Amino acid sequence: MNNSLQFLKRVRFFKSLPDSDIIKIENVCQEKRFEAEEVIFVEGSLGNNFFIILEGSVEIWKGFKTPNQDSLGVFGPGQLFGELALIDGFPRSATVVSRESSLLLSIHRDDFNKVLAESRTITLSIMKSLAAMIRESTENFIEDLRARNRHLEEANKQLRESEERIAASLREKEILLAEIHHRVKNNLQIVTSLLNLQSDQLKDRQVYDIFQKSRNRVRAMALVHETLFLSSDLSCLDSGTYIRKLAATLMRTAGIPHQRIRMETEADDILLNLDDAVPVGLIINELITNSLRYAFPDSTPGEIRISTRLVDEDQVELSVCDNGTGFPPGFDFRRAETLGLTLVKGLTEEQLEGSLRLDQTRGTRFTIRFRQKKLMK
């Protein structure tokens, strides 16, 4: 492996390492020859090896040997692929095939982990490189969105010229919108995971509860984008589907068996604009969370009911009620200083421009009415 040291120096993860550390990595490398048309790895398979091309060339394929297969490019000597396998066993994002008899240098993740365990400098170098890759990926994605947006704006000027161009442009918009919902949902899930990781290290119960509530709020927003991403219509949200998913998620997170507290949902076929969907989701999250935490002390059984209905052509009524202990006598929710109820009031009156009413005749019932915004055509 006379040239392997020079090839390893080209790897982004290793560029800042001294030769002594690169030699440690070189010692766990293996050479392997692949013949023409031999598959090196398949899209979707778990990645365990990282490869550098010493001789020959390989071709990268998306959807290999399917009707929609697409060649992503050809790599030659000195180029590398599969490097994320060194960090984690991510599924391969493409299929790689040798175009001719090719000699590859590979590193197995288990061997690489042993090197990491022995060298702090290699670990720090990889962490810095990963941070740079994430930053570069984010910048490229933003620029890609801007470029697509410029392209769409130009296409919109020419829509009247051809029905086919109109259909193609609309389809491109749908793909872009789906991608945005998908990215936003993934980013919000990352925030949720970070809050989970941080809360696991907390010893103060009050601070832990704050983190858990914040996590549920982020999860409620992520669920809006997930439901839209999976929907056939990306411009509006099926409130019934969303409410049932959110209620089930909150029950599961709270760890309360459904045999003790029943969760009932009654939802008319109401479609919500995205501007309405997010505040509605946050309001439901706060009210259900309050009921689960305070309405049924000492493992008391009970029922929580969420309903939505149209009371006018464009006026929506949302009701969240429980048959629990209720608020203390003389309680005025409008003067409450808790973040949860403050959010409910603010979202109802400022975001939805609606009204909020509390009925404590039997348990607790919050009723919210707001005028439905027009859906995008």
**Structural domains of the chain in order of their starting residue, each with its CATH number:** 4-129 (2.60.120.10), 235-377 (3.30.565.10)
* Cα 227 to Cα 47: distance, rounded to the nearest angstrom: 30
pTM to 2 decimals? 0.46
> Burial of 285 by CB count in 10 Å (0-12 exposed, 13-18 middle, 19+ buried)?
buried
Strands (E) in the chain, as ranges, are 30-34, 39-41, 49-55, 58-62, 70-75, 80-81, 95-98, 102-108, 236-238, 261-267, 271-273, 302-310, 315-322, 355-359, 364-371
Q: What is the reported pLDDT for 377? A: 47
The pLDDT tens digits along the chain (377 residues) read: 456 777 777 777 777 788 888 888 888 888 899 999 999 999 888 878 888 888 999 999 999 999 989 998 999 987 878 876 766 666 788 899 999 999 998 888 888 888 878 888 877 777 777 677 667 767 877 888 788 888 888 877 766 666 665 565 556 555 555 555 455 555 555 555 555 555 565 566 666 666 666 666 666 666 665 665 555 555 677 778 878 888 888 787 777 777 788 888 888 778 887 778 878 888 888 888 888 888 888 888 899 999 998 887 788 999 999 998 888 877 888 887 787 788 888 889 888 889 999 998 888 999 999 988 765 54
Q: Which residues contact 322 (CB under 8 A, 6 or more apart)?
A: 291, 295, 296, 302, 303, 304, 305, 363, 364
Other C-beta atoms closer than 10 Å to the C-beta of 164 total: 8
Q: What is the reported pLDDT for 369? A: 93
H helices, E strands: number in the chain: 9, 15
Name 319's bridge partners: 307, 367
